[in-house]
Amino acid sequence: MSALTTCLGFPRIGSDRELKKALESYWGKRTTADDLQATARELRRRHWITMKQAGIDHVPSNDFSLYDHVLDTAVMLGAIPARFRGIADPMARYFAMARGLQDPATGTDVAALEMTKWFDTNYHFLVPELEPEQTFTLDPARILVEIDEARAAGVEPRPVVLGPISFLMLSKLAQGAAGTSTLALLDRAMPAYERLLGLLATAGIRWIQLDEPCLVTDLADDARVAYRRALARLSRWPVRPKILLATYFGDLLSNLPLVVHMGLDAIHVDLVRAPQQLDQLLPVLDQTAIVSLGVVDGRNVWRTDLDAAHALVHRAVAQIGVDRVWVAPSCSLVHAPVDLERERGLDDELRSWLAFAVQKLAEVRALAGAASSSAPTGEAFDAARAALTARRRSPRVTAPAVRRRITQLGDAMLRRASPFASRVAAQRARLQLPLLPTTTIGSFPQTADVRGARAAWRGGKLSDADYQTFLRGETTRCIARQEALGLDMLVHGEFERTDMVEHFGQLLAGFAFTEHGWVQSYGSRCVKPPILFGDVSRPRPMTVEWARFAQSLTARPVKGMLTGPVTILQWSFVRDDQPRRDTCLQIALALRDEVGDLEAAGIAAIQVDEPAIREGLPLRRRDHADYLRWAVDAFRLATSSVRDDTQIHTHMCYSEFGDILGAIGELDADVLSIETSRSRMELFGDFARVAYPNEVGPGVYDIHSPRVPTTDEIHDLLVRAAAVLPAARLWVNPDCGLKTRGWPEVEQALARMVEAARRMRREVAG
């Protein structure tokens, strides 16, 4: 007998990134809001039919979003900050919350909501801003419309809603509000959720999926109390659909008692990240409750070991019966590429090792069909066994020379020759920079001309020599523009790079690449992670020629630009056949070689970006120390070979750093640049608390918004920063790279940034 199948969510962007293109066309005023909504409707219809045809019994709705599902939840609950309420058009208001809005015609100038990482993924969500006396007013229109759309497509949907506790825990109080926890707003929020349950029941909905991912984190007492109260209220609501409580990205552990015996109808658990929790859950599960088993990895691209997954499914079936077991991916498939069938450039061997979202649905169906069998057979199981065996035996996976280098690592390779206090004097003597030096994070706008030239080159319509000439021209103009703006430390602009991880993966051994393996990072921003399948090494220098060329164009220092080992690891689809630590150290060794070559080429400052170091932090405190140890070691292995007068920079963005600032200090980077503009320097206060010892560049320009900050705004942020750290240890820079912005707004914003820095210098000198 087969078990039922389900899916927690499907990729939103479309197999050809249709959502990205529709959003950017709408923002560029080339198409209308109706055009955007038409694209969204067609994508939803296509995804529902794909899931139904794949044999998924419980198909999700409301998992689609025009920008971000947490933002959607805030809008659904009426949690719209005061600065946006004057924007009458709902769609304009929605995107103003996501991206900010600067409209000289109406005088509207509002900053976007803060953005941060969704747990330990590279997906970014918008942080809802709540007032201490927040009023929640349910707006269910979008959910109800999508139910009608799904039924018109022949699908009976299960709406997906972010649960009340996770919503509140992921929110923040508006700046200036103090003394209140967002969880204190639970009683204000619950009536909206209860009303939603009633409306869905009236609409004939049988099931609702309530996502509560915070249940796999370490919870304080107030959160535990809040969970008990909220789940009890919802489960006892007299007119409601059945509730599937979905957890993912880890295990319930001590939070398990918060969800059992609460009257919930089904519980989803992630058995990819935490297979051990199945044996903890089954003995205490309510006698009629269903368990949804997340046995197919929703966050990676490797083919599932169907035999290992089946063992978990069959164990549950044997204990509680097949009618109480569902089979599912571990989490929403929004973190996976859409369809492996579109990949024509991968060789057959590597292709046989992979599964994208569509293929993962087929794996779920195969596992459900074999749920009651003690010895599963059939084409799907045979193909999986053959592919897994071939992958384990493939000589492409291991490189003996790389493994020998790893065994030769020693502590001396993880330390700079001198402490920061000695290095900083040597660096200032060499670089001759002013107080509060200005710089950027690395990339400059990737214009239509840049993208067009790259496409022509890849398509064989532009020769290698002509493409190199084009890139040299772009780099030359970029250096000239930076000099004209008055920036103190320059960058080459990265016009040869598509992506800060994919670019390096293409130059390192052990990586493979897709044509259509896109996943959503935030809004319209999509990334195409490389597939890290084997041991990593550097066949030849990767960035030295571009750094040397850029430095030849100017007397000002030009930074060499590298992506750090942890970020390359985190933003790739990483091999699952060895510890992540081992893979990270291999990447670090390859980068160490590159850092050495950049220094030998005369580059005085080298930036090794680690925006993903906080993202990689495990969700449970018990696992923090081990991860931080090897993450710090990997960065230091990559950077510690340079002389005292060579300045090492790193960059981090869109994460809460307060709880790992000790480890960030241990990186021992000479200069750390971070994102702080959306939070108005709120995150920067932690640097004073831990007495951060080195130099810092707190971001003063939000590059994820099209609005241009005023000089006064930037100056105000610098004043706030100087109240935390001495001006002598501060740099001035944007939050992140500028590749997604246009030149007019970039030049205007950077000119204001330079002017604000100069004003601040005069004030400090005075």
Query: Which residues carry out catalysis?
Result: 704
DSSP string, 482-523: HHHHT-SSB--B-TT-S-TTHHHHHHSEEEE--SS--EEEET
Q: How far apart are CA 545 and CA 411, in angstroms?
A: 31
Q: How far apart are CA 275 and CA 277, in angstroms?
A: 5
For tokens 């246009």, what's the residue?
A: 742
C-beta separation of 517 from 301 below 8 A: yes
Residue 329 bridge partners (DSSP)? 296
Q: How far apart are CA 720 and CA 732, in angstroms?
A: 13
**How far is residue 139 from each of residues 72, 196, 717, measured CA to CA in Å?**
10, 9, 36
Q: CA angle 134-115-565, nearest 5°?
A: 150
C-beta separation of 695 from 747 below 8 A: no
φ and ψ at residue 478, rounded to 5 degrees: -65, -45
Identify which of 156, 180, 131, 196 has the alpha carbon closest to the alpha carbon of residue 51. Answer: 156
C-beta separation of 60 from 158 below 8 A: yes
Identify which of 741, 707, 753 has the alpha carbon closest to the alpha carbon of residue 83. Answer: 707
- Residue 235 tokens read as 């489960």
Q: How far apart are CA 225 and CA 231, in angstroms?
A: 10
For tokens 């929004």, what's the residue?
A: 334
For 226, the enclosing helix (H) or strand (E) is: helix 221-236
Give the 3-state secondary structure of residue 230. helix
Q: How far apart are CA 240 and CA 223, in angstroms?
A: 24
Q: How many Cβ atoms are within 10 Å of 522's Cβ, its own excluded?
A: 21
- Residue 228 tokens read as 């008990």
Q: How far apart are CA 159 and CA 143, in angstroms?
A: 7
φ and ψ at residue 54, rounded to 5 degrees: -80, -5
Give the pairing of strands 172-173 and 671-674.
unpaired
First to last CA, the chain: 81
C-beta separation of 723 from 690 below 8 A: no
C-beta separation of 136 from 79 below 8 A: yes
Q: How far apart are CA 137 and CA 102, in angstroms?
A: 27
Q: How far apart are CA 513 and CA 570, in angstroms?
A: 16
